[in-house]
Amino acid sequence: MGPVLVADEITMTYLGGQRSLEALECVSFQVGAGEFLCIVGPSGCGKSTLLLVLGGLVQPTSGKVYIGGELLTAPRRQIGFVFQKANLMPWRTVLRNVTLPLEIKGLKAEEAGQQARELLKLVGLEGFEDAYPHELSGGMEQRVAIARALIHDPAILLLDEPFGSLDALTREHMNLELLRIWQAKRKTVVMVTHSIQEAIFLADRILVMSSRPGHIEATFSVPLHRPRRLEMLYGAEFGVLSKRVRQAIH
Ligand SMILES: Nc1ncnc2c1ncn2[C@@H]1O[C@H](COP(=O)(O)OP(=O)(O)O)[C@@H](O)[C@H]1O
Ligand SMILES: [Mg+2]
């Protein structure tokens, strides 16, 4: 089977009035079915831009993205997106935040509700269906955002620093939860993070991007077996790889 996602020589230049800004320069890589890929790199190197391009939300200046062998020209239901901020609708309950994409599509509230309930259970929010966003912790909000991204049953999940604003312990817990969901749903995941530790803990493979214009500086395979366990964070293998990844980011 071929790769699920292909980025082929992606270049992105943002055009301003007087000046233009080269954000990405010839970025190429492939992601296999069911793979968990993490992208790390310094702030401003174009990680979010790259993810927007992969999601069909922004057209690159040049280069192409292929999803399942087909050229990507616009956003698709096959792709779910989770951003750093959950961006929930404050006047809608948890359940109705998750059903929103289906309601927009015209699905009956009843049917949409059933799917949303199952996903909320999957992300560990059973019992919070009728809560409002202001009643949730940051970690819970991101769980809702993940459930909402899964509602179309996308083959690919794109995550842009989804746990970046959480405290370290909650983040650790969310990492384990994300692996559980990934394993249960067998999705292909591309996740941007600025945490080397998070990338190694989660990923099968890590792409290191270097500063502007962003390009891929190095690729690492993560040799840790699965399921991943928190004690791996303190193992020798983990330490060695952390150092190598750190050295690849200038
Ligand atoms: N919509 C935009 N218009 C102009 N410049 C942008 C836009 N979005 C991002 N940039 C610039 O492109 C560069 C890469 O940004 P971004 O993709 O957000 O990087 P990262 O996610 O790695 O921090 C930055 O210099 C940023 O200022
Ligand atoms: Mg970013």
CATH class held by domain 5-78+154-248: alpha beta
Nearest CA to ligand 1 atom 3: 14
Distance of CA 73 to the CA centre of its chain: 20
Which residues share a beta bridge with 220?
Answer: 206
Would you state the pLDDT for residue 17?
79
Closest C-alpha to 93, from 147, 50, 28: 147
Atom of ligand 1 lying closest to residue 45 CA = 22
Structural tokens at position 244: 């190598």
Per-residue pLDDT of the chain (250 residues; tens, 9 = 90+): 789 999 999 999 999 878 899 999 999 999 999 999 999 999 999 999 999 999 999 999 999 999 999 999 998 989 999 999 999 999 999 999 999 998 888 888 788 899 999 999 999 999 999 999 999 999 999 999 999 999 999 999 999 999 998 899 999 999 999 999 999 999 999 999 999 999 999 999 999 999 888 999 999 999 999 999 999 999 999 999 999 999 999 7
Contact 196, 142 (CB under 8 A): no
Distance separating alpha carbons of residues 165 and 83, to the nearest angstrom: 11
Rounded CA separation 33/5 (Å): 8
**CA of residue 11 to ligand 2 center, whole Å:** 17
pTM above 0.75, yes or no: yes
Q: What does the domain layout of the chain look like in residue ranges? A: 5-78+154-248, 90-152
What local confidence, expressed as pLDDT, does residue 110 receive? 83
Ligand 1 atom showing the smallest separation from residue 12 Cα: 12
